[in-house]
Chains A and B, each alone.
Chain A
């Protein structure tokens, strides 16, 4: 019995310890934020005006100096405490580190220009450890004003928790339907799970009309990949794809060669793999070994990752990949994504840029936009109203144009192609050929889905 009590005492000590620790951590972050740094934010302006991130005025400024304490959790006269939930520890350590990196970069940038209306941002990093999402959301409800730039794989578990405590969240991305369609949630690139933007498919079907009649798809029948597979299949079939093979693969697939042999036997001429980048890399490697590949090997944003080339090497040549974030290959002085990359480079360890990080950074800018418009009249309701009023957003050119207020986006995209070990712009052929930001936008290709999708977390 005694040892059990000792263990309980240890738990209590840990409980008190955790509060102290966070206090210390917040202080450290606040100190960090005041350090000067270099920045390629162009058009550095005189006091009273805003720094430019691409084409967007980032609403970080010293303000008028007459801030008052609004008396709500996480906001004082001088500070705003925001949280970022991400999967960091757990079975895949460091999985969503880019989300924390992006927020560090943003907070550094914004605080350098005075914070939001003179309120410095304090960042609380909350580790969801993949399976502790509910606990992390509970922590967020208690410790911070709102959460910004989150990246959580199993975000369904935290969605209702945050809605129940009335907390707004502006995540970097959403994975599950419960979060994607949740109340009190706005994000830079909305991803409503009850529709599917089939633009990329339409482009493919126009370029390869015969091949899409012999289409094949692989997917892991679990969680988000299964959800996305189901959505794409229904939508693409609606625009004319015919799937002659729709096969499941395992999370750890050891028989890729045999699988590809089977694909060749089926006569497929187009293939898409709904899994992670490692899986896609192994798929094309197996194709190389077997000595056959279908005419079109298609992939989405999840495959727009240097790891694909690192793993698959030459086997990845010719692969088509569509993206909705501005390609890093075209980053240059004056573009929004360059600001993100520059701020990242200033961080300790100079982490690599990542597509999800871009989304997180843009969501943070979205939050700043709404927060700034409140001035001194800060409350959760006002923030929610402000976010509900932003109907056009593109992060200064960091990604496709979207409508956060409506939780929707027009069907804009861009295709890259793997050539010579690099991702190279494929369609539209030049940035100028695009409709917006170098992306092409299609009308009437957003397919409403008939299938059953889970409900978003609701305020009741």
Chain B
């Protein structure tokens, strides 16, 4: 007890760093509406860059100069660049797309640093003024700790001055209130966005540089990223908009964590509790946050569409898949069969996201966690060689999913994503490693008859098909219609008496149940599975590749899963080729980031372009039969250009030559829009409102 005030000071020191990090996050969120999951990774990258610039083993520049360069040049540029290139295009997209892009950026930065730029090596991170320390009430406090506190106070004061005393700050606050109104009043929301993202990146950099020597005395990717991620809890305490509360939240988390060291016994059962303190605080905060207002209209105006899968189509896909897998398994070596099987498991895991993310527009970052719960149930409650274990695994995983989602469902979608992330981290730190759970590893028996790896691969394909059929069946039934209605207009659903919370809960439970089965499949595939197989970080690529593949269609899940499974195989097979292996390891991240251009996902884009082309061909055929065709001499051409000739004297009319037909029975394609602009003599610059702001 005597050391209490000393530990308090240490807690405030750590908490100050959380506060600095969280404030940067809140600044970008309030001015752009995008929760930047990559905030932690940004801080981490900047810490590495700072090390590279200032460390004797790097470029040995003086620390002050290094700080100036990183905080005032590199980080703001990076933030502004990210906003301009990636985030600007996300304005009209759904929450899912926004989140996936930032998660893609986070994964990409992590892989870039760990695999390409700074592969693991010893990079000591020195504290500022090492060796200077004082003893306060029995606890040793270093100069570095005090600097952290001082910097946090300065940042708080600086942000207050910025937001309340400067023109830019006032504009930023105005943008929070009403972006369009700002534009109408002559403000420039986009410039403000770039500025605030630059500011956010600088704050992340500050937090990262100060935290690096504290977290681990050598630079390491994950610990640093997780440290800043812990700051997200502080942002939540500030309800993602109140800076004072964000700062308070950071301090609370830091103090709680330090006190946990003092008062929590260090037994095996409780080991994971200490690093989980921020996560637990996040959960508690979610429980007490007030319910958010319902959206009245759909955000998916122009850019996103939801196709319909059919039961027959899915059945056909399953049959083809099983045949293809059997063929590939026959011609491949043993390791490739295992790689293919793993890809199929990934397909199942991504499929679990289809009902939740694709149909209901909600996000879960805990799919592998539910997989871990499922496999534990199947292997330890009854033996996994009993088919009943699959059912049990699905039920338990689904139930856990419902319980986890419940606090967050009455809140905005972003909170659900954070809640699932927090849940996954909690399970990683605290539960999976327990002896009674996964311990170091557990062995999961396969169902009888599936000992042969090739046969098991075909079984996995069958499993995917069955689950896909289930999902499609759901979609085409009343439940699917409810989900679609909810996605379009939650307020309208509420006025019709639809229980939104229950519908979302059901979607979440189904998603978790399928993920549970996926976990059992992984367990059956590998000789043993352990906590490392179900880490939260592993769930991120699932979301990335799922959305990129097309999360609204089961075919998209198949494509995304196979591609995700292929990346590491390609990287290994081509290990001796320069650059390519790194590109493949960055694959999921790059795919996620590029989603901004292609929000519907690859599968939907491809099927849609096929559909468009078929449509165009059909229309051309119709018009040919109907149009008034004259020989060339008399030349009555309909449209701005002379019609093409088929070579046998017939004249072909292209739909593009007849603008009045467009848009009536099918959506515009890009070509048609351009043709329309030409016909109306409009220029892009006249139409682009954003260019003028």
Contacts and interface: CB of A to CB of B under 8 A. Distances in A.
Our verdict on whether A and B bind, yes or no, reads yes
Interface of A: 1-5, 7-8, 10-12, 14-19, 21, 25, 89, 91-95, 127, 129, 131-132, 134-136, 138-139, 141-143, 156-158, 160-161, 221-223, 226-227, 247-250, 252, 254-255, 257-259, 261-262, 278, 281-282, 285, 289-291, 307, 310-312
Contact of B317 (A4, A93, A221): A4
Given A250-B274, A257-B140, A262-B262, A94 B119 contact: yes
Interface in B324-378: 324-325, 327-328, 331-336, 338-340, 343
Interface in B36-80: none
Contact of B10 (A93, A257, A312): A257
A226 B3 CA distance: 31
A2 B606 contact: yes
B606 A3 contact: yes
6 smallest CB-CB distances across A and B, nearest first, come from A247-B266, A138-B334, A258-B261, A248-B271, A7-B562, A139-B335
Given A11-B569, A248-B268, A261-B139, A255 B562 contact: no
- Which of B10, B271, B568 has most A Cβ within 10 Å? B271
Nearest to A6: B559
Nearest to A227: B440
Nearest to B535: A91
Contact of B336 (A15, A134, A227, A310): A15
Contact of B223 (A8, A252, A257, A312): A252
A157 B217 contact: no
Contacts of B573: 14, 17-18, 21
Interface of B: 3, 7, 10, 14, 114-115, 119-120, 122, 124, 133, 135, 138-140, 142, 214-218, 220, 222-223, 226-227, 257-258, 261-262, 266-268, 271-272, 274-275, 313, 316-317, 320-321, 324-325, 327-328, 331-336, 338-340, 343, 429, 433, 440-441, 453, 526-528, 530-533, 549, 555, 558-559, 562-563, 566, 568-576, 581, 602-603, 606
B563 A7 contact: yes
B571 A89 contact: yes
A259 B338 contact: no
B215 to A, nearest CB: 5
Contacts of B227: 254
A255 B272 CA distance: 13
Given A139-B334, A254-B214, A289-B133, A1 B320 contact: yes
A131 B530 CA distance: 10
A141 B569 contact: no
A255 B122 contact: no
A127 B569 CA distance: 11
Contacts of A93: 114-115, 119-120
A427 to B, nearest CB: 28
Nearest to B325: A8
Contacts of B569: 11, 14
Nearest to B138: A261
B140 A285 contact: no
B122 A1 contact: no
B335 A136 contact: yes
Contact of B226 (A11, A95, A252, A282): A252
Contact of A1 (B135, B267, B313, B331): B313
B446 to A, nearest CB: 13
Contacts of A18: 333, 336, 573
A250 B562 CA distance: 35
Given A8-B562, A161-B527, A131 B139 contact: no
Given A8-B562, A157-B528, 10 more contacts: A3-B603, A7-B558, A15-B332, A21-B573, A93-B115, A135-B338, A156-B441, A249-B266, A311-B124, A312-B217
B270 to A, nearest CB: 8
B333 A139 contact: yes
A310 B429 CA distance: 29
Given A250-B271, A311-B217, A1 B555 contact: yes
Nearest to A134: B527
Contacts of A290: 140
Contacts of B572: 89, 127, 129
A95 B222 CA distance: 16
Secondary structure call for the B interface: helix
Contact of A89 (B317, B559, B575): B575
Given A226-B440, A254-B227, A310 B122 contact: yes
A135 B573 CA distance: 14
A131 B343 contact: no
B234 to A, nearest CB: 16
Contacts of B267: 248
Contacts of B603: 3
A259 B261 contact: yes
A45 B638 CA distance: 95
B531 A222 contact: yes
A89 B549 CA distance: 26
A278 B218 contact: yes
- Which of A92, A261, A307, A310 has most B Cβ within 10 Å? A261
A5 B320 contact: yes
12 contacts: A1-B320, A3-B555, A7-B559, A15-B336, A93-B114, A158-B527, A222-B440, A248-B268, A249-B266, A252-B216, A257-B140, A312-B217
B568 A10 contact: no
Given A18-B333, A254-B215, A289-B142, A157 B328 contact: no
A129 B575 CA distance: 12
Given A4-B555, A7-B559, A252-B223, A291 B335 contact: no
A336 B245 CA distance: 64
B216 A278 contact: yes
Contacts of A1: 313, 316-317, 320, 555
B216 A282 contact: yes
Nearest to A305: B122
Contacts of B338: 132, 134-135, 138
B266 A248 contact: yes
Contact of A223 (B331, B339, B440, B558): B440
- Which of B114, B321, B327, B335 has most A Cβ within 10 Å? B335
Contact of B528 (A91, A94, A156): A156
Nearest to A253: B216
Contacts of A247: 266
Contacts of B214: 254
Nearest to A138: B334
A289 B141 CA distance: 8
A4 B334 contact: no
B120 A255 contact: no
Contacts of A311: 122, 124, 217-218
Given A3-B603, A7-B566, A252-B222, A142 B333 contact: yes
Contacts of B7: 258
Contacts of A14: 336, 566, 569-570, 573
Nearest to A277: B122
Nearest to A159: B527
Nearest to B526: A134
Nearest to A223: B440
Contacts of B571: 89
A287 to B, nearest CB: 10
Given A223-B440, A254-B275, A307 B122 contact: yes
Contacts of B138: 261
